[in-house]
């Protein structure tokens, strides 16, 4: 813990990505609370007088925690394993080895790709990625209208303004 009583995320990450049991313990504490809040928020959206056409849930460990059957559609933000490694190391200021430990705690991206309804290739330009996401959002809205179910669940790891 830091002096202000907040968790030291750097030390916590070092522990959980080097000790699988520590990661499982942390996940057993955090995941139920996070998932409870997420589903509560979806129900709040559905209960609105004018609910959104689509609810987008960002669940980085969707497959790893077994939630893939609890959502209607899955959209994966894809990058090659090499690019994932580079981005993770850069984003979190990690060595290649540290970044590899973090990525090793996840399913391989190609396995996720096989199980996703849509895949957004994030290795192109921002405009190319935005175009892919906009097409998928329109399709999700169409599917939700056909079902007559406001806020039908969808996943986009990375965000979407549907």
Question: Please, which pLDDT band fits residue 155 given cuts at 50, 70 and 90?
Answer: very low
pLDDT of residue 149: 61
d(CA 36, CA 80): 32
Tokens of 43: 């129900």
- Decide if pLDDT at 104 tops 80: yes
pLDDT greater at residue 58 or residue 158 = 58
- Decide if pLDDT at 68 tops 80: yes
Tokens of 12: 């916590």
- Decide if pLDDT at 103 tops 80: yes
Q: Where are the domains of the chain?
A: 9-156
CATH classification number, 9-156, choose in 1.10.1660.10, 3.40.50.300, 3.40.50.1820, 3.30.1330.20: 3.40.50.300
Average pLDDT over every residue of 15-35: 90
d(CA 143, CA 152): 9
What is the pTM (predicted TM-score) of this model?
A: 0.78
């Amino acid at each position: 813990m830091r002096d202000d009583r907040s968790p030291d995320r750097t030390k916590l990450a070092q522990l959980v990505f080097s000790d699988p049991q520590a990661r499982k313990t942390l996940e057993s504490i955090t995941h139920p609370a996070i998932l409870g809040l997420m589903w509560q928020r979806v129900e709040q959206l559905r209960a609105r007088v004018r609910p959104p056409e689509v609810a987008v849930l960002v669940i980085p460990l969707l497959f790893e925690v077994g939630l893939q059957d609890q959502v209607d559609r899955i959209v994966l933000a894809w990058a090659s394993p090499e690019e994932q490694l580079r981005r993770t190391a850069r984003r979190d200021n990690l060595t290649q080895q540290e970044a590899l430990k973090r990525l090793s705690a996840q399913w391989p991206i190609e396995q996720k790709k096989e199980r996703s309804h849509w895949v957004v290739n994030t290795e192109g330009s921002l405009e190319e990625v935005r175009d892919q996401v906009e097409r998928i959002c329109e399709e999700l809205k169409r599917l939700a209208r056909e079902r007559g179910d406001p806020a039908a669940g969808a996943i986009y790891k990375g965000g979407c303004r549907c």
